[in-house]
Amino acid sequence: MESSLPLPVRPDSTPTPREWAALLECASPACDPHRLADLFRSLDWSRLLLLAEQHGVVGHLVVQMGTSGEDDVVPAEIRATYVERHRAQIFSTLRLTAELFHVLARFAAQGIAALAVKGPVLAMHAYGDPTMRSYGDLDLLVRQRDILHATECLQAANFEPTVSVTAIQAAKIPGQYLFAKPNANLIVELHNEFTLRYFPRRLPLERLFARSILVPVDGRDVPALSVEDELVYICVHGATHFWDRLGWIADVAALIARQTNINWENVDAMAKEVGAERMLHLGLYLASDLLHIHLPDAVLKDVRGDAGATKLAERVHGWLMAADHRAPTLFQRAAFRLGMRGNGFSALAYLLRLSFSPTEDDWQSGEDISQHNLLSAIGRPFRLARKYFRDGRS
């Protein structure tokens, strides 16, 4: 079978209002097929595809192409190219799902409890399809006491750790325990209440395990967070990355649209327990404002009543539509993180903790692994300044 012609992707992927509107319509659970068909009639298709790939919503775009109402709206060669890109995403996610089953089976055989987060489990929760989301790694929650054993288990499965056994034995805590399988493009990340430092308060891992559920994925039950805990988790994750991908907002919207029995009291309680009320409000605000997701009246009132979340959402809108596609500067990042936590001492304490809590990038940069964490903490702000300093803007 002949492959479709590649689209001439332009160096400038800045969206015009029409292309951005089409992408938002595709990503919305409340997509209007007639409005989408009208938007499709006059588009730069190569720019739209590049935009969809950057924002992780190729699957959304391809699915909505089939609902646009008229067969001639999308040119045949364009449709074929988009479907081909989506097919590549499907193959990638199927490989990752198969690897998830293998890793969980190995962990279970060794008595290591793990919960899958994001990835195929979120795809099932939000879309009912493990291949709908775009993701490049597998994320698992594992208790800290099991990290060494889990590392040895993954090494036996030919994964190479970025955090050595020596570092684990020296009680070094990274941003994540990352494992890569050489020449296979497979990455597994292990997280727990110590590595997930962007949660303002320590994650109640034991309660998350107690509330965990089994999610059917391709005929197998996968241990995962409850829907309510997953919703808070992905809102914190999106805020951590400044919500610079539309796909993360689409996940929030789709999760709420599909899971009609969400216990919002439990969502609120979880957000308060980890100090992430504003992060939750921001995620819900973006899903409501950009993708028109319906929220219960009481929830919407709380979200709209959070003036800080509204201000942060305005910044996110600007970054999503940034003409130069540059990430926030160091000072913009700091201001955003202060705003995520609220006001006053708690916000400053949160920013300082993030600024001085060393990760593997700090204590693997040439230092003796046995060196005290204090030295790594002192050097971390200088490393961050070097990393995010660009053309004097920061």
* pLDDT tens digits, one per residue of 45-103: 888 988 999 999 999 999 888 765 555 677 888 888 888 989 998 999 999 999 999 99
Rounded percentage of the chain residues whose pLDDT exceeds 90: 59
8-state DSSP, 71 = T
pLDDT at 70: 54
- The pTM is what? 0.89
Structural domain includes residue 175? no
User: Which residue range(s) make up the domain with 384?
Assistant: 327-394
**Among the ranges given (28-32, 162-166, 292-296, 357-361), the one the predictor scored with the smallest mean pLDDT:** 357-361
Domain closes at, from 43, 65, 87: 87
**Average pLDDT score over residue span 179-183:** 89
How far is residue 117 from each of residues 140, 195, 372, measured CA to CA in Å? Answer: 6, 14, 32
| Cα 56 from Cα 132, distance rounded (Å) | 10
pLDDT reading at 366 higher than 70: no
Amino acid, res. 281: H
pLDDT at 77: 84
**Average pLDDT score over residue span 207-225:** 97
Residue 299's contacts (CB-CB under 8 Å, 6 or more residues apart) are 264, 284
Domain closes at, from 36, 52, 87: 87
pLDDT band at 255 (very low <50, low <70, confident <90, very high): very high
| Cα 270 from Cα 274, distance rounded (Å) | 6
Q: Which is it for the CA torsion 205, 206, 210, 211, positive or negative?
A: negative
Structural domain includes residue 110? no
Structural domain includes residue 230? no
Q: Which of 135, 161, 132, 194 is nearest to 359 (CA)?
A: 194
Domain closes at, from 87, 114, 129: 87
* pLDDT tens digits, one per residue of 307-355: 999 999 999 998 887 644 566 787 888 889 999 887 778 888 888 877 7
**Average pLDDT score over residue span 237-257:** 96
Structural domain includes residue 98? no
Contact 224, 115 (CB under 8 A): yes
